[in-house]
């Protein structure tokens, strides 16, 4: 019985998040969530207490289950290629229409929800900085990236992979096309050495053939 209730509440959170991604908070009703999740409104109110609490729980669940791309562990020739593959994967992930919708839904009028989103993003930022700093140092050491400061390079990667896919999606709509090879080129062109530019051009050539 407990498993059925858990599965039902899981559907409630998923349906609530999907509806919140498609509509403004004010336009979504508990009844609509209940109908899509095949659950009673009484159960939803019993567990969450209010519409606001339900959507805060839905956003929290979405943040906790996000599978944001990570640096590839193996199979690539050099650390720069790892960074290039990571930037492409991260940009593609943030540019997905469904991810753009989720990101828009997280721009919330509720202070509690903003704090939850901010905390999750802070954790992700700390993880990325630690992870990227290590591989950036390696890439600088082998002469493929310019030594302009690890923090500058990491910031450029983090900002560049979000700017077009997310900001453009928020402003112009979820279906706005992102040219992924352009994002990779813009992120890395100011950062690579002459040797790095050769690797960058090879990678962009492969991207254009996909």
Residue pLDDT tens, the chain, 210 long: 457 778 888 899 999 988 887 887 788 899 999 999 999 999 999 999 998 889 888 888 887 787 888 877 666 678 999 999 999 998 998 888 777 777 766 665 556 667 777 777 787 778 778 889 999 999 999 999 999 999 999 999 988 988 888 777 666 666 778 889 999 999 999 999 999 999 999 999 999 877
CA–CA distance, 111 with 103 (Å, rounded to integer):
16
Contact by Cβ (8 Å): 181, 208: yes
| Domain co-membership, 74 together with 177 | yes
Domain co-membership, 46 together with 132? no
Helix then strand count (H, E) for the chain reads 11, 0
Q: Domain count of the chain? A: 2
Q: Which structural domain, as residue segments, surrounds residue 164?
A: 70-209
Say whether both 54 and 77 belong to one domain. no
- Please identify which residue in the block is written with the tokens 């901010």: 118
Q: Are residues 181 and 82 in the same domain?
A: yes
């Amino acid at each position: 019985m407990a498993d059925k209730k858990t599965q039902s509440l899981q559907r409630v959170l998923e349906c609530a998040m999907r509806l919140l991604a498609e509509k403004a908070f004010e336009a979504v009703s508990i009844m609509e969530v209940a109908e899509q999740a095949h659950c009673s409104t009484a159960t939803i109110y019993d567990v969450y207490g209010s519409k606001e609490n339900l959507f805060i729980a839905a956003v929290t669940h979405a943040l906790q289950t996000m599978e944001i791309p990570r640096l590839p562990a193996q199979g690539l020739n050099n650390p720069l290629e790892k960074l290039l593959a990571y930037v492409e994967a991260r940009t593609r992930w943030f540019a997905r229409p469904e991810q753009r919708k989720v990101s828009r839904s997280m721009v919330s009028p509720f202070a509690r929800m903003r704090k939850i989103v901010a905390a999750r993003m802070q954790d992700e930022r700390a993880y990325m900085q630690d992870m990227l700093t290590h591989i950036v140092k390696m890439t600088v050491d082998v002469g493929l990236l310019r030594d302009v400061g690890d923090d500058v390079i990491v910031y450029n990667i983090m900002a560049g992979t979000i700017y077009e896919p997310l900001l453009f999606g928020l402003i112009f709509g979820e279906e706005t096309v992102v040219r992924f090879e352009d994002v990779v080129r813009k992120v890395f062109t100011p950062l690579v050495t002459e040797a790095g530019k050769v690797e960058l051009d090879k990678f962009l050539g492969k991207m254009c053939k996909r």
